[in-house]
């Protein structure tokens, strides 16, 4: 049985535009038609040539004038967009050069002892990290805090300790990757209240795009209080940033379509996502938390898997070795070995 025929929003828009275009064409050419062929609704009666020309001119002159103004406005906007695009590219190229230069200059630099001790006390992932990787992590933290602005919202201040705690988890994701993964990231905003986006009543612990990250500080502190609870807001949101980096889309495939790794990621997602759905439908559970299947576009899978990769790495490696292996290749890290080494 056929369902009711319904137009999509785009189809409705096209129908409306087409109808308006037809009416405009009829309005523009009707006087000329009536002058030459007569009025089909009034026994073919024609109007005088002078009157037809006058009516046509009165219709066409304002239409052409409005069209000329609209075309000029459109052209100016196109030029401005082109200038903005060039300026943005120049800015990014300059920023890229600066990041790569500073990466070399910061080789071997460490955080102060007081900051190291504070992170050792307050950051489970920093505490668990092998000493050989801590040096590189701290290089990344210093660079990250140079290139990314920290903002505040409804919170008294963003302290050095808060910046460091966020930076540890953000930089852990790129410790063995290029710092250019955060090339487009402009700022991190720390909220003193749950995050509410425009036109939404939903309260969020974090929110990320290609250029920005917002974090509710209470949620950040809560999520790092237990290093094995499979929940880390900072890891989750910065994994979204990495997912956006390659193609401006969060689709849980963090590489571009022309990457040789793309088929592996797509195959993994197509294979493992339905398994994850079935596991929770049957109340069997999974290493990845159920938030990984909360969006139909599968955009939360990569971020939730990232949390599991770092917080339940040994369990993920044992129960889902294909997921673990691909994430190990992407992040160039083997966190399961940190646990096995007793760190």
Write out pLDDT tens, residues 248-265. Answer: 889 999 999 999 999 999
Are the CB atoms for 43 and 68 separated by under 8 Å? no
Look over the chain and give the mean of its residue pLDDT values, rounded to a whole number: 89
- Judge whether residue 340 has pLDDT over 60: no
Which pLDDT does position 94 carry in this prediction? Answer: 96
**40 HSE (CA, 13 A, CB side):** 3
| CA-to-CA separations, 149 to 104, 144, 185, 265, in angstroms, rounded | 21, 9, 9, 32
| 3-class DSSP state of 226 | coil
Judge residue 61's burial from the number of C-beta atoms within 10 Å of its C-beta, 0-12 exposed, 13-18 middle, 19 or more buried. Answer: exposed
Most trustworthy range by pLDDT among 4-8, 44-48, 274-278: 274-278
| CA-to-CA separations, 343 to 118, 124, 126, 140, 339, in angstroms, rounded | 18, 11, 11, 21, 6
Which pLDDT does position 342 carry in this prediction? Answer: 40
At 44, is the pLDDT very low, low, confident or very high (cuts 50, 70, 90)? Answer: low
Residues 6+ apart with CB under 8 A from 207: 195, 197, 213, 214, 237
pTM for the predicted model, two decimal places: 0.79
Are the CB atoms for 303 and 330 separated by under 8 Å? no
Number of H helices, E strands in the chain: 13, 4
The position carrying tokens 């210093």 is 142
* CA–CA distance, 159 with 165 (Å, rounded to integer): 10
Sheet holding 149-153, edge to edge: 149-153, 187-191, 212-216, 206-208
At 33, is the pLDDT very low, low, confident or very high (cuts 50, 70, 90)? Answer: confident
- Taking only the tens place, the pLDDT of each residue in 115-172 is 999 999 999 999 999 999 999 999 999 999 999 999 999 999 999 999 999 999 999 9
Mean pLDDT to the nearest integer, 89-93: 93
Backbone dihedral region for residue 108 (phi beyond 0: left; psi -120 to 50: alpha; all else: beta): left
């Amino acid at each position: 049985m056929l369902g009711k025929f319904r137009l999509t929003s785009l189809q409705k828009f096209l129908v409306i535009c087409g109808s308006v275009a037809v009416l405009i064409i009829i309005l523009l050419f009707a006087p000329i038609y009536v002058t030459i062929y007569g009025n089909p609704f009034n026994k073919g009666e024609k109007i005088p040539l002078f009157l037809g020309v006058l009516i046509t001119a009165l219709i066409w002159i304002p239409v052409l004038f409005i069209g000329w103004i609209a075309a000029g406005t459109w052209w100016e906007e196109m030029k401005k967009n082109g200038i903005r695009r060039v300026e943005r590219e120049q800015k990014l190229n300059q920023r890229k050069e600066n990041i790569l230069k500073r990466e070399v200059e910061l080789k071997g630099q460490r955080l102060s002892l007081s900051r190291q001790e504070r992170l050792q006390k307050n950051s489970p992932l920093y505490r668990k990290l092998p000493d050989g990787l801590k040096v590189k992590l701290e290089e990344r933290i210093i660079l990250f805090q140079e290139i990314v602005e920290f903002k505040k919202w409804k919170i008294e201040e963003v302290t050095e300790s808060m910046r460091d705690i966020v930076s540890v988890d953000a930089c852990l994701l790129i410790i063995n990757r290029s710092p250019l993964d955060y090339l487009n990231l402009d700022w991190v905003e720390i909220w003193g209240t749950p995050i509410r986006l425009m036109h939404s009543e939903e309260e969020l612990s974090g929110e990320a795009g290609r250029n920005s990250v917002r974090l509710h500080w209470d949620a950040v502190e809560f999520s790092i209080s237990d290093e094995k609870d499979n929940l880390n807001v900072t890891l989750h949101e910065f994994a979204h940033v990495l997912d956006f980096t390659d193609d401006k889309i969060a689709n849980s495939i963090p590489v571009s379509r022309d990457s040789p790794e793309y088929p592996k990621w797509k195959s993994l997602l197509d294979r493992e996502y339905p398994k994850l759905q079935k596991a929770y439908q049957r109340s069997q559970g999974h290493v990845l938390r159920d938030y990984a299947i909360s969006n139909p576009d599968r955009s939360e899978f990569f971020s939730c898997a990232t949390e599991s990769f770092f917080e339940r790495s040994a369990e993920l490696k044992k129960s889902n070795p294909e997921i673990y292996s691909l994430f190990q290749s992407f992040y160039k890290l083997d966190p399961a070995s940190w646990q096995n080494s007793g760190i």
